[in-house]
């Protein structure tokens, strides 16, 4: 039986490739002004690695000020997602400027 660490280690190149492909597709969509719901079907990863791709993409978009809402398919071979600007609110009491 394969351990979780072995699975992730073996899947890392595919996770990185799929994360890049999905981020490229999202960037293309955003450059065309789209905020619609889209579907992405995994090309290069096993279903068990799909959550790692989602976390990677969600973290990258969040760091850039975008919200990534998603719904993973029952078989984990596809994801429906919507990207939108992340809402930012002022923090009370930080009027130091």
Residue-wise pLDDT for 11-34, tens only, equals: 888 888 989 999 999 998 888 877
Whether 2 maps to a domain, the answer reads no
> How many domains is the chain built from?
1
Q: Which two tokens stand for residue 81?
A: 């997602």
Whether 8 maps to a domain, the answer reads no
Whether 13 maps to a domain, the answer reads no
Average of per-residue pLDDT values in the chain: 85
Whether 62 maps to a domain, the answer reads yes
Instruction: Find the angle CA(49)-CA(53)-CA(57) to the nearest 5 degrees.
Output: 170
Whether 66 maps to a domain, the answer reads yes
Whether 3 maps to a domain, the answer reads no
Whether 4 maps to a domain, the answer reads no
Number of other residues whose CB lies within 10 A of the CB of residue 81 = 22
Q: Which two tokens stand for residue 11?
A: 């899947």
pTM of this prediction exceeds 0.85 = no
Domain with 27, as residue range(s), is 20-39+49-86
Whether 55 maps to a domain, the answer reads yes
């Amino acid at each position: 039986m394969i351990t979780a660490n072995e699975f992730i280690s073996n899947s890392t190149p595919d996770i990185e490739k799929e994360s890049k492909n999905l981020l490229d597709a999202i960037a293309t969509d955003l450059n065309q002004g789209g905020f619609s719901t889209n579907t992405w079907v995994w090309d290069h990863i096993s279903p068990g690695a799909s959550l790692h791709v989602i976390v990677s993409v969600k973290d990258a978009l969040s760091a850039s000020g975008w919200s990534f809402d998603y719904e993973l398919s029952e078989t984990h071979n596809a994801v429906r997602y919507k990207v939108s600007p992340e809402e930012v609110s002022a923090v009370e009491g930080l009027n130091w400027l």
